[in-house]
Amino acid sequence: MSVNPLRSQDVYIDAGKNVTFLMLSLLHKEQATEKEAVEETADRLQAIKRSLNVRYPDSHLRIAFGISSLAWDYLFPSAPKPNELEDFTGIKGDKYDAPGTPADLFLHVRADDQSVTYEVVDEVMTFLRPVTTTVDETHGFRYFEGRAIIGFVDGTENPIDDDAIEWGIIHDEDPEFENGSYAFAQKYLHQMDNWKDLSAEQQEQVIGRKKFTDLEQDDEEKNQRAHNVAAQDNRNGIEHKIVRMNVPFSDPGQNITGTYFIGYARYWNVTKAMLTNMFTKNDLILDYSTPVSGQVFFIPSLDTLDKIADNQY
């Protein structure tokens, strides 16, 4: 077997315009019944996608379905396990902490048409609703010019094309799970009133980029705690990357606004290093953004989904 992005789920292509994130917990009561529901989901997922793409070809539907470490152990106790899959229990920083969120299953659906994202989630939950509880459901959207809700262009340094496949998809270092990926899902709430009180120049010092043009600040003017400095993984002089598909969400009437951070990676340890750097180096963005959830999930390849569907694990 060799790396083939066509055998991957949608882990390296676009953030979408209308997005739903879903974290679920299995009931942990009847393992056989719950495993059967997950097998049914794995079996039906691509058919659901094909059907909706036939009916709504301009919707650009993308779907990723993932399983956490604890869920993998529960559902497939005798099966091999992805090399880097572990339970994310949180990160303790000097000033701020990143919490870990107990969750078993993850769904990331995006499309140009919100009715399509609704239909996917509703159909998937036909199989999962009887055996799960919802930990978090977040509906996001594409903001102006692809900017984060705090006004800066998001994803500028994202790997694209072959680089996205190189950094976003598991290769032959873990041959049983090649073409899979590790997804880290983390929800942030922003203190928007405090953020809006800052001048554009002060905001630029927090992010490390120019707000209007998106140009990166010169090294001599950058704060070493700026987000695009603190959140890097530059081990051994190499800039390691992940594929980000961050999405804004908001209930403006309630003054609840945030960013759903989602990063897909060939190596979970890269995402983990970025997060650790953020919280141990006191990334300036954390003065205005509070993480309220976080968990890592394995996103199986289509071939692994087939094995799950066929009860081979």
Catalytic residue ranges: 154
Residues 64/108, Cβ–Cβ less than 8 Å: yes
Cα 216 from Cα 38, distance rounded (Å): 44
Report in angstroms the alpha-carbon separations of 135 from 102, 128, 153: 8, 13, 29
Structure tokens at 15: 């953030």
Residues 22/117, Cβ–Cβ less than 8 Å: no
Which helix (H) or strand (E) segment holds residue 46: the answer is: helix 31-55
Residues 42/65, Cβ–Cβ less than 8 Å: yes
Dihedral (Cα; 182, 187, 193, 194), 10-degree rounding: -60
Please report where in the chains the tokens 């879903």 appear, as a residue: 22
Which is nearest to 242 in space by CA: 218, 213, 263, 214?
A: 263
Cα 70 from Cα 228, distance rounded (Å): 32
Please report where in the chains the tokens 């559902």 appear, as a residue: 75
State the pairing for strand pair 105-111/18-26.
antiparallel
Cα 189 from Cα 172, distance rounded (Å): 37
Helix/strand/coil for 217: coil
What pairs with residue 186 in β-bridges? 261
Helix/strand/coil for 82: coil
